[in-house]
């Protein structure tokens, strides 16, 4: 099943699309209950055991017994079930450490150390502000750089120097001096523009393309297609959906167009495209039909969601496996 923060999350459409294409249940935290170290899904026919959860909820909101006690997006007891090996959570809790933008600056060194190779693609120049020399240079050039918090995502907290007001730059300067380890700086990367339909017609808007590669341990290959995101406000470089960005269909030019193929029966690129274009999918069993459910379960509150819950749902963010966040430069 796919665990979503809910309809107020900016990526909710993506969650529904993924659940439909994968043929799995789309659930929210209140649809789950944890009993005896196991996770169950509430259904009209009673509780059903859950084996695998593809989560789109941040670590902090996943289990109020382990993380944020005020979270209404996760399921109490979920982490205990995971520790006992009774449920698999993808992405694993804690893998967001790779999202730290400071880690990006060490990738070339990691390649050299672990693979004994030179990087094929060059990094965007990045200043580590914990280095006093780098901090001094960035403070001198603050109005021409992009500055990002290392633990930020979704375009939150970044400042594009050329677009910032003097007051914003002054506030940023004070924050950098107070906590240089918490920030990186990069030059502004001018994204390409593509024709985009907006309220006043077809207009150029900045966009980026994110391809996806799979590593099975012995080989790496790039999947057909990719994620194309577009900054809808005029002149905006931040393409994140949480900052008002959108997405576009990504076309792979070449090969033969697929004919009619039943969902799940195609092979190769044609089969993949046909599967993704299918409007109806069959459910993939990820729960136990035959297992007896516990006799008792926690009370399921009824009625509309409170305002605090709705506000909290909007705090959920997309994870790297989906698509992690691209801003005015690399993450």
For the chain, the domains span 2-98+281-323, 125-187
In CATH terms, 2-98+281-323 corresponds, of 3.40.50.11290, 3.30.360.10, 3.40.50.720, 3.40.50.10420, to: 3.40.50.11290
Does position 219 have pLDDT exceeding 50, yes or no? Answer: yes
3-state secondary structure of 61: helix
Over residues 297-319, the mean pLDDT reads: 44
CB contact burial 201-226 (16+ within 10 A = b; e otherwise): eeeebbbbeeeeeeeeeeeeeeebbe
Across the beta sheet with 32-35, what order do the strands follow? 32-35, 38-43, 46-50, 287-288
Which segment of 25-29, 98-102, 116-120, 133-137 scores lowest on mean pLDDT?
98-102
Q: How many Cα atoms sit within 13 Å of 108 on the Cβ side?
A: 10
Question: How distant is the alpha carbon of residue 167 from its chain centre?
Answer: 31
User: Six-digit token pair at 83?
Assistant: 């520790």
Percent residues over pLDDT 70 in the chain: 75
State residue 84's pLDDT score. 95
State residue 249's pLDDT score. 79
Does position 327 have pLDDT exceeding 70, yes or no? Answer: no
pTM, entire model: 0.59
Classify domain 125-187 at the CATH topology level: Dna Ligase; domain 1 (3.30.1490)
Does position 99 have pLDDT exceeding 90, yes or no? Answer: no
Res. 65 pLDDT band, cuts 50 70 90: very high
Res. 174 pLDDT band, cuts 50 70 90: very high
């Amino acid at each position: 099943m796919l665990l979503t923060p809910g309809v107020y999350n900016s990526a909710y459409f993506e969650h529904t699309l993924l659940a439909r294409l994968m043929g799995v249940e789309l659930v929210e935290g209140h649809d789950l209950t944890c009993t005896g170290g196991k996770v169950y899904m509430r259904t009209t026919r009673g509780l059903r055991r859950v084996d695998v959860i593809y989560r789109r909820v941040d670590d902090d909101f996943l289990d109020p017994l382990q993380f944020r006690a005020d979270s209404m997006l996760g399921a109490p007891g979920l982490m205990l079930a995971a520790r006992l090996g009774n449920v698999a959570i993808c992405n694993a809790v804690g893998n967001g450490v790779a999202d730290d933008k400071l880690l990006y600056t060490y990738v070339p060194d990691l390649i050299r150390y672990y693979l004994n190779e030179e990087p094929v693609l060059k990094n965007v120049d990045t200043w580590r502000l914990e280095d006093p020399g780098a901090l001094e240079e960035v403070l001198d050039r603050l109005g021409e750089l992009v500055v990002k918090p290392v633990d930020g995502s979704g375009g939150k907290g970044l400042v594009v120097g050329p677009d910032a007001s003097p007051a914003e730059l002054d506030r940023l300067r004070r924050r950098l001096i107070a906590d240089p380890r918490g920030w990186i700086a990069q030059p502004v990367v001018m994204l390409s523009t593509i024709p985009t339909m907006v309220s006043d017609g077809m207009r150029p808007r900045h966009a980026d393309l994110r391809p996806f590669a799979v590593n099975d341990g012995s080989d790496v290959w790039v999947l057909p297609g990719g994620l194309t995101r577009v900054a809808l406000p005029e002149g905006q470089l931040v393409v994140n959906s949480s900052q008002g960005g959108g997405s576009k269909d990504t076309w792979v030019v070449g090969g033969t167009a697929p004919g009619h193929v039943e969902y799940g029966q195609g092979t190769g690129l044609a089969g993949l495209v046909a599967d993704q274009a299918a409007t109806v999918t069959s459910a993939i069993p990820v729960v136990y039909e035959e297992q007896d459910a516990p006799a008792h379960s926690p009370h399921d509150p009824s009625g509309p969601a409170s305002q605090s819950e709705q506000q909290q749902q909007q705090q959920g963010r997309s994870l790297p496996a989906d698509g992690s966040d691209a801003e005015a430069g690399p993450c």
